[in-house]
Amino acid sequence: MNLIIFPILWPMSMALLAMLTRFHKKAQILIAITGMSVYSVSVAWIMFKVLKTGPLVLHLGKWVAPFGITLVADSFSVLLLALTAVIAVTSCTFIMQTINPLTLEKGFLALFFALVMGVSGAFLTGDLFNLYVWFEVILISSFVLLVLEIKPTELPASLKYVMLNLVASMFFLAGIGILYGKTGTLNMADLALKIQTSPDSELVISSAILFLIAFGIKSAIFPLFFWLPDSYHIPSAGVVALFSGLLTKVGLYAFFRVFTLVFGTETPIFSSLFAIIAIFTMTLGVIGAVAQQEMKQLLSFHIVSQIGYAIMGLALYSTQAFAAAIYFIIHVSIAKSALFLVAGVIQKTSGSTDLKKLGGFANQPWLASLFLLAAFSLAGLPPLSGFIAKYGLVKAGLEQQAFGLVFVALAVSFLTLFSMTKIWKFAFWGENHFPEARESIPLLLPIMILSGLTVGLGLSRPLYQIAVLAANELMQPAAYIQAVMGGSL
């Protein structure tokens, strides 16, 4: 059980070590390699134990729930921990090859590990207040990473990022206060038990609305998404790949965890609202993407549109919809991170990601092939992982006769493919402005891993089977509650 805390303590220790050695590049590289390797192995071991024995629980200081701090690893959380390891390893590999040495000296690697620590803590925490704390750790570290190499003209966008996320924290804290005042607990398993017997549903719903706003800002859903495209194009491609793969996914994790475990009895009331949010998030996100001429900003709008698919799963609220949504979260994080890293290679070669200034990258066959794999997966073409995820969501929608949601999901997939062909037309098929550019296999290696995963996940079934297991646990949280509360029941 004590191993559960390792994905939190290990990045924290690596962050401290990285800060102490920030003026020594070789030491930073060694810390990055060692830190992410050990982190990945620990996550793999935790995942193996959870899938073999069920949810693992650690009561810190032996203070049993609901009185102490509780860490919980179940199928859903370990899946996202595994995703964290994949995105962090590939992003770190890319970043360490492209980063300015001066940026390393400013403490970049320490902030990187602090962000990984915050994300891991958010996925493992068993109570709402500590989820709030990890949100703040993520916000602080990501904001500093965002502005570390900022230009003066980009300051307003970065301030928008931090201010909107602070507003989200305010709403989240208000919702926590209301729930604690009503129930006297913030442990999610204990809350699930008390809310089931609570006669005051209006007070519970009011806190749920506050959480919806808070998580909505964190995950960038309609109409709270406008901060994301304005800020995610600012940092380097490696950092954006890390952000796109993990940050909004923490918000989605909070949605699924809280609105099934804590507000499970009240969630059907929000189903129509979630459906409307999903439709507008998918539609406006993809329309914004189609209108862009800057590659990273185009991909940033696609982060928004793809989040709508995950919310679609929450709106449908069935085991199949949850399984498809969980699988989709894994898929889109991998595919989108790969696309941002492709943008990073293009920017390193050309000095720009403005599509009108690009062209000729089809002459780099490895880069072009990796882009097509990730782009087709994002659009949902078979046999890639995006097809499996969207097929599951569409099937769940048809079974519930949610024809409007299904139509929008299919239309957005078509527009996603259209926007990917736009990148191909300008950046790859356009006039060759960089005839002497050569491919760097080490730089392409993290993209190969991510694009390869989109193929592998599409052709194999184990991930989807784990997603089904996680969906069953979300729909029937008794095992989670029993594991956390134990003898307190």
Residue 13 clears pLDDT 60, i.e. is over it: yes
Residue 424 clears pLDDT 60, i.e. is over it: yes
- Give mean pLDDT, residues 412-423: 94
Residue 153 clears pLDDT 80, i.e. is over it: no
Most confident of 151-160, 184-193, 388-397: 388-397
How far the first Cα of the chain sits from its last, in Å, is: 20
CB neighbours (10 Å) of residue 9?
13
Residue 325 clears pLDDT 50, i.e. is over it: yes
Amino acid in the structure at residue 116: V
pLDDT for res 281: 96
pLDDT for res 488: 46
At residue 73, the 3 state secondary structure works out as strand
> What is the rounded distance in angstroms from the CA atom of residue 74 to the CA atom of residue 56?
7
pLDDT for res 155: 78
CB neighbours (10 Å) of residue 188?
24
pLDDT for res 460: 82
β-partners of residue 59 are 70
pLDDT for res 372: 95
Question: Which one has a higher pLDDT value, 149 or 46?
Answer: 46
Q: DSSP label at 57?
A: E
Closest CA to 252 of 225, 226, 218, 286: 218
Amino acid in the structure at residue 89: V
> What is the rounded distance in angstroms from the CA atom of residue 59 to the CA atom of residue 273?
36
Q: Write out the DSSP string of 388-421.
A: HHHHHHHHHHHHTT-HHHHHHHHHHHHHHHHHHH
- Give mean pLDDT, residues 210-234: 90
CB neighbours (10 Å) of residue 452?
14
- Model confidence band, residue 480 (pLDDT cutoffs 50, 70, 90): very high
pLDDT for res 201: 67
Residue 324 clears pLDDT 60, i.e. is over it: yes
What is the number of residues in the chain? 489
pLDDT for res 433: 66
The mean pLDDT of the chain is: 91
- Give mean pLDDT, residues 466-489: 86
β-partners of residue 401 are none
Range with lowest mean pLDDT among 186-195, 332-341, 396-405, 434-443: 434-443
Residue 27 clears pLDDT 70, i.e. is over it: yes
CB neighbours (10 Å) of residue 184?
11
pLDDT for res 310: 96
Task: Kindly calculate the radius of gyration of the chain based on its CA atoms and give it in whole angstroms.
Answer: 21
pLDDT for res 29: 93
CB neighbours (10 Å) of residue 21?
17
> What is the rounded distance in angstroms from the CA atom of residue 202 to the CA atom of residue 34?
50
Question: Which one has a higher pLDDT value, 211 or 431?
Answer: 211
* Segment holding 58, helix H or strand E: strand 56-59
Question: Which one has a higher pLDDT value, 153 or 7?
Answer: 7
Q: Could you tell me what percentage of the chain is helix, strand and coil, using 3-state DSSP and rounding each to the nearest 5?
A: 80, 5, 15
pLDDT tens readout for residues 261-274:
988 866 778 889 99
| Residue carrying the six token digits 């935790």 | 46
pLDDT for res 437: 64
> What is the rounded distance in angstroms from the CA atom of residue 73 to the CA atom of residue 377?
29
Residue 202 clears pLDDT 80, i.e. is over it: no
Percent of the chain surpassing pLDDT 90: 69
pLDDT for res 194: 87
- Give mean pLDDT, residues 90-105: 92
- Model confidence band, residue 434 (pLDDT cutoffs 50, 70, 90): low
The two tokens of residue 202 are 């209006």
- Model confidence band, residue 467 (pLDDT cutoffs 50, 70, 90): very high
pLDDT for res 1: 63
